[in-house]
Amino acid sequence: MISIKNAKKTYRMGDEEIKALDDVTFDVKQGEFIAIIGPSGSGKSTLLHTIGGLDSLDNGSITVDGDDLAVLKDRDLARYRNKTVGFIFQNFNLQSRYTALDNVELGLIFAGMPKKERKEKARAALEKVGLADRVSHKPTELSGGQQQRVSIARAMVNSPKVILADEPTGNLDSKSGEKIIELLHDLQQKMNVTILVVTHDDRIAHKADRILRILDGKIVEDVTNGKKEAVKEYTD
């Protein structure tokens, strides 16, 4: 499903070179739930951004569902972000003047979907995340957990193959976080979506099929289901 080969990304800050991704190689199977852990500044977000087509590599390649992202032009890259992947951010990134429904609908507007159809789809997505009675609420009228659920609805409304979540519970209390984790697993199971979650949250890491630990832009540990206990000490 996802194949990353020798991915390199370097940022230059004055004289200093920061290797955000340093020769990263790994494959992801369809429907896998992967937790990406590691200390702050280790390159986790950079990894998600490059997989999501928001950022490009300096070297190496990322192939998602047969598409080599490096060769996609703006138009195709936009379609890729629209149809193949869905983003979930720590700070939700909802548009504050839009209702929950409008926020979820926006990606479908970019996809050129007719109004009636997209309203139905957006409403259905909000129902799935348990916000059927909050469709006309604006983000400021929703709790943090509810806002994040809106952003999950936004990420999945166009039935993507991959969900990329960057610390989705980072801004939430543990109870709301729990609900988000449940939702993500639900998505994985019901829709066979591939999920990559950057997290500091043990609960997420422990429920994942696989844990990738990153340090200074390198994958230093790749643990699949069953060996989770070994990882526990690395989460911070």
Partner 1 sequence: MKFIDSIQIAFSNLFRQKLRTLLTIFSIVIGATLISLVYAVIPGFENFLNAQFNSMNSPKLIEIYASKERPGQEFMGSIGSGPEEYKEGDSGSISFDFATFKDADMEKISQVDGVKKVHEIPMPTVEYAKMEEKDKRLKVSYAVYLPEFLQENLNLVAGEKLKDSNSGKMMLANQFVESFGYSNAEEMIGKTIILRVKQQPTFDAVASIAVPSSVTAMEEKVKDYKFEVVGITEKTILSSAVYLSYTDALEMSRFARGSDNVLTDKDEQRIVAWVELDSADRADEVKKKIEELGYSGMTYEESQNILNDIFGVLTIAFSSFGVLAMAVSSLGILNTLVMAVYERTREIGVMKAIGATKKTVALLFTLEAALIGLFGGLIGLGLGFGIAELLNIIGHKTVLSAFDTLDLSNVSSLLLLAPGLSVVVATIAGIYPAIRASKLDPVKALHYE
Ligand X SMILES: Nc1ncnc2c1ncn2[C@@H]1O[C@H](COP(=O)(O)OP(=O)(O)O)[C@@H](O)[C@H]1O
Using CB under 6 A, list all residues that contact ligand X.
11, 13, 18, 20, 38, 40-46
Closest contact distance (angstroms) between CB of 59 and ligand X is 15
Residue 157: how many other CB atoms lie within 10 Å: 25
Which one of ligand X, partner 1, Mg ion, none is in contact with 81 (Cβ closer than 5 to 8 A by kind)? Answer: partner 1
Please state, in angstroms and rounded to a whole number, the distance separating the CA atoms of residues 64 and 70. Answer: 11
DSSP 129-160: TT-GGGTT--GGGS-HHHHHHHHHHHHHTT--
Choice between 142 and 214, CB closer to ligand X: 214
Choice between 18 and 70, CB closer to ligand X: 18
- The packing angle between helices 115-128 and 100-110, to 10°, is 130
- The packing angle between helices 100-110 and 74-83, to 10°, is 140
Closest contact distance (angstroms) between CB of 77 and partner 1 is 8
Which one of partner 1, ligand X, Mg ion, none is in contact with 133 (Cβ closer than 5 to 8 A by kind)? Answer: none
Q: What's the chain's Rg over C-alpha atoms?
A: 18
Please state, in angstroms and rounded to a whole number, the distance separating the CA atoms of residues 125 and 61. Answer: 33
Residues near partner 1, by CB under 8 A? 49, 52, 54-55, 74-75, 78-79, 81-83, 86-87, 89, 93, 95, 97, 106-107, 109-112, 114-115, 154, 158
Closest contact distance (angstroms) between CB of 233 and ligand X is 19
Closest contact distance (angstroms) between CB of 80 and Mg ion is 22
Which one of partner 1, Mg ion, ligand X, none is in contact with 140 (Cβ closer than 5 to 8 A by kind)? Answer: none
Closest contact distance (angstroms) between CB of 227 and Mg ion is 25
Please state, in angstroms and rounded to a whole number, the distance separating the CA atoms of residues 145 and 134. Answer: 13
